[in-house]
Amino acid sequence: MSNPIDQASAATDLFSKFDPLIQQRQQLLDAGVQDPFSLVMEKVLSPTRAICNGRETILLGTYNYMGMTFDPEVIEAGKQALDDYGTGTTGSRVLNGTYQGHKECEDALKEFYGMDHAMVFSTGYQANLGIISTIAGKGDYVVLDIDSHASIWDGCAMGNAEIVPFKHNDIEAMEKRLKRIPEGAGKLVVLEGVYSMLGDIAPLKEMVRVAKENGAMVLVDEAHSMGFIGENGRGVAEAEGVMDDVDFVIGTFSKSVGTVGGFCVSNHPKFEIMRLVCRPYVFTASLPPSVVATAATSIRKLMHGSNKRAHLWENSKNLHGGLKALGFQLGTDSPQSAIIAVIMPDLERGAMMWEALLNEGLYVNLARPPATPANMTLLRCSLCAEHSEEEVRTILGMFERAGKAVGII
């Protein structure tokens, strides 16, 4: 059955470590469920509609919170930049990859956040990876929430600092750890405004105060709050009134801004040195001119987005209240962000529910371990300011029919 050559190659297959995952995935597909992780959007009609499997589908699982992807002015800025500057920079920000558009994009960020410095990265992932791994060095301590995003954990893994996690949103656990750090060591507290799996927010007012009292610098990832939370859309730190005590805000263009890219804004007087020492900034090509042009235009429009922000909150409240009334178990007791997480009993029924919703004409995110806290399977709904009140009612009807068909409610 097996000859020696087969055995030798099997023994050295570096992919064997993935066998349990391959089996789990196969079991799911064998049960007749459509693969939730290989959906193709054949056409995109608007920030809230696409054609999937030949059918018009309401999008409730994008990070297009402010619906900027089809804004005519934003699109026009991108087209103009393509004409004026070409398709790409073919170089690093520190060599030939900084065009006028990159500076204008950083200027827009400085104005948006009211901060002295802004540094644009090629992705949000790289912004966390680069800033955390660079500023926290050997002998320093990074104190972070256990539910932090993968890019934060990877930034910790890439650096040489001591990594000290604490229980999710637990102010006391964070404080205890800060107080135990040896005197004289550098301290960085890493928090997120909105935690994207359950859509809950951090008690930043208390946490930032405690961090500062203990001599730590504070980095807040506001990826899922930019443009939406806070009076000017600066995020949870703004809403909680602690913006001035946050040393670094990390953000992304791939959510409310509606394109791709990441950034860090800061008032630190020495911040500009980051451009020379931060490897994920230096050793990668800069964003294409059209991307930074769309980002800058979108960011400037988001400064005046208060009506859209108000409508998005209405959507979030309506969907949260409606799902709760239908009997679904939700990730938060009250709506705290534009993300409403519906907790599924297990992965199999989660995948069935996901497919039933898709057949109804609704796309949501299926999230599963290890991306989720406490090994939960979630259907994550993320709302858009462009969803109408009527659309939210339609969505609730789809959830009711699918939930009953799968036997979850």
Partner 1 sequence: MDRAEVDSSIRSLIEPFNKKGVEVADNTTFANDLEFDSLTVMDFVAAIEDEFDIIISMNQQAEIENYGQLVDAVTKLQN
Question: What are the residues binding partner 1 (CB under 8 A)?
Answer: 141, 146, 156, 162-167, 173, 176-177, 180-181, 374-375
Cβ closer to partner 1: 175 or 360?
A: 175
Beta bridge partners of 110: none
Residue position matching structure tokens 């961090």: 211
Q: Closest distance between partner 1 and the C-beta of residue 215, in Å?
A: 15
Q: Closest distance between partner 1 and the C-beta of residue 147, in Å?
A: 11
Q: Closest distance between partner 1 and the C-beta of residue 236, in Å?
A: 24
Q: Closest distance between partner 1 and the C-beta of residue 162, in Å?
A: 4
Cβ closer to partner 1: 176 or 401?
A: 176
Six-digit token string for 339? 């993300």
Six-digit token string for 351? 């995948």
Cβ closer to partner 1: 98 or 128?
A: 128
Cβ closer to partner 1: 43 or 176?
A: 176
Cβ closer to partner 1: 133 or 256?
A: 133
Q: Buried b / exposed e across 41-77, counting CB within 10 Å, b at 16+? A: eeeeeebbbbebeeeebbbbbbbbbbbbbebeebeeb
Q: Closest distance between partner 1 and the C-beta of residue 151, in Å?
A: 17
Cβ closer to partner 1: 165 or 251?
A: 165
Q: Closest distance between partner 1 and the C-beta of residue 146, in Å?
A: 6
